[in-house]
Amino acid sequence: MIGVVGAGAFGTALAVTLARAGRQVRLWGRDAGTMAAARGTRTLPRLPGVILPAGIHPTADPADLRECDTLLLAIPMQRLGATLPTLGLTPRHAVAACKGVDLTTLQGPTAILRAALPGAVPAILSGPSFATDIARGLPTALSLGCIDEAAGAALQTLLSTPTLRLYRTTDVAGVELGGALKNVVAIACGAAIGAGLGDSARAALMTRGMAEMMRLATAMGARRETLMGLSGLGDLALTCASPQSRNFALGHAIGHGDAPPDATTEGTATATAALRLAETHGVDMPVTQATAALVAGRVTVKDAMKALLDRDLTEE
């Protein structure tokens, strides 16, 4: 049995594709009323129009997840560390499905899992996938990072479905950092488009953003080829190009002078966390620096772009 922690858009989408493939899923959300209603209506508010298959048991009682060998964690990154200990669960495998760097500890999701669930093998699931696409059964491919090769292979089989294809790797740092850092670049690209700076500016930000993602990730032990894969280039391409991305939409709102959308935008906190990591590892991250200043309201898009353009000319 698989337990999914977090009944937001992504947790619900993962539960839906797994249940359609015949897995039994317990889906935990923190709001008792919402989860009780979901048992009747077979729908959840974050994924309107998607019917929960019979194999999903929606619950707000963490005890219902005690018999789940494998847990998927799909709650916002900055809540992960505080939420896990309150659930009292001891799974064999714990798979993070969130993207980001914890602002307090500067750790990625699997380090948070290792500390909170010491008996579980930690893993990370990340890559280009909008929750609505997964829930609609559209073709999707993700990376599964797990240091333990046997556990990684077992999880790859357990969590792949006819429409969700997982590729496995032992490069956990690469998968984590690819998924975390692309959100920051997506905000920058959204801001450029929102401010009317054009598609060429977006392409430049994506490319130079990718260069600094690589610099930080490899300084932290990740492999370049992982960053060139699904959880890196793949997710960067998706979120920097699609208005469906909440991080892109946040940037777009800032660039256009609109009110920021009320949505989970992991790139906001991760921009600041990534800058701190960059300092520790002696890595230059100008796009991330500009984005952190932009979301904090310290600079305008025009000033941020001017600061990027005014930097000393250098080799690619």
Ligand X SMILES: NC(=O)C1=CN([C@@H]2O[C@H](COP(=O)(O)OP(=O)(O)OC[C@H]3O[C@@H](n4cnc5c(N)ncnc54)[C@H](O)[C@@H]3O)[C@@H](O)[C@H]2O)C=CC1
Cβ within 8 Å of residue 302, ≥6 positions away: 195
Q: How far is the CB of 239 from ligand 13P (least distance, A)?
A: 5
The residue among 89 and 142 lying less far from ligand 13P, judged by its C-beta, is 142
In the list 9, 72, 185, 238, the residue contacting ligand X (rule: CB under 6 A) is: 9
Q: Could you give the CA distance from residue 207 to residue 228 in angstroms, rounded to a whole number?
A: 12
Ligand-binding annotation for 22, yes or no, is no
Binding flag, residue 11, ligand 13P (CB under 6 A):
no
Q: From ligand X, ligand 13P, none, which one binds at residue 102 (CB under 5 to 8 Å depending on kind)?
A: none
Which range binds ligand 13P by CB under 6 A, 30-38, 45-53, 58-66, 243-251?
Answer: 243-251
- Which residues neighbour 194 within 8 Å (Cβ) at sequence distance 6 or greater? 251, 252, 253, 254, 255, 256, 258, 301
- Contacting ligand 13P within 87-126 (CB under 6 A): 99
Under rule CB under 6 A, residue 186 binds ligand 13P: yes
Question: Would you count residue 252 as binding ligand 13P (CB under 6 A)?
Answer: no
With CB under 6 A, what is the number of residues at the site for ligand 13P? Answer: 13
Tell me if 59 contacts ligand 13P by CB under 6 A: no
Q: Binding segment for ligand 13P among 56-64, 155-163, 239-247, 251-259 (CB under 6 A)? A: 239-247
Interface pick for ligand X out of 2, 10, 52, 112 (rule CB under 6 A): 10
Residue 8, annotated ligand binder? yes
Taking Cα atoms as reference points, which of 79, 58, 68, 77 lies closest to residue 15? 58
* Residue 209 burial (CB count, 10 A): 25
Size of the site for ligand X (CB under 6 A): 24
Q: Is 83 in the site for ligand X (CB under 6 A)?
A: yes
Q: Say if residues 106 and 273 touch (Cβ distance below 8 Å).
A: yes
Amino acid code (one letter) for 219: A
Residue 225 CB, nearest approach to ligand X (Å)? 21
Residue 129 assigned to a binding site? yes
Question: How many Cα neighbours within 13 Å face the side chain of 84?
Answer: 25
131 is in an annotated binding site: yes
Calculate the CA 202 to chain-centre distance.
21
* 88-119 as b/e: b if 16+ CB within 10 A: ebebebbbbbbbbbbbeeebbbbbbbeebbee
| Alpha helix positions (H), 30-171 | 32-41, 77-87, 109-116, 131-135, 149-159
247 binds ligand 13P (CB under 6 A): yes
Q: Is 306 a catalytic residue?
A: no
Residue 99 in contact with residue 8, Cβ under 8 Å?
A: no
**Taking CA 225 as the corner, what is the angle to CA 219 and CA 230, rounded to the nearest 5 degrees?**
110
Q: Does 143 bind ligand X (CB under 6 A)?
A: no
Contact residues toward ligand X (CB under 6 A) are: 6-11, 29-30, 46, 74-77, 79, 83, 97-100, 129-131, 264, 266
Q: Which residues sit in the known binding site for sn-glycerol 3-phosphate?
A: 99, 127, 129, 182, 235, 245-247
Contact residues toward ligand 13P (CB under 6 A) are: 99, 128-130, 183, 186, 235, 238-239, 245-247, 266
Tell me the catalytic residues.
Answer: 182
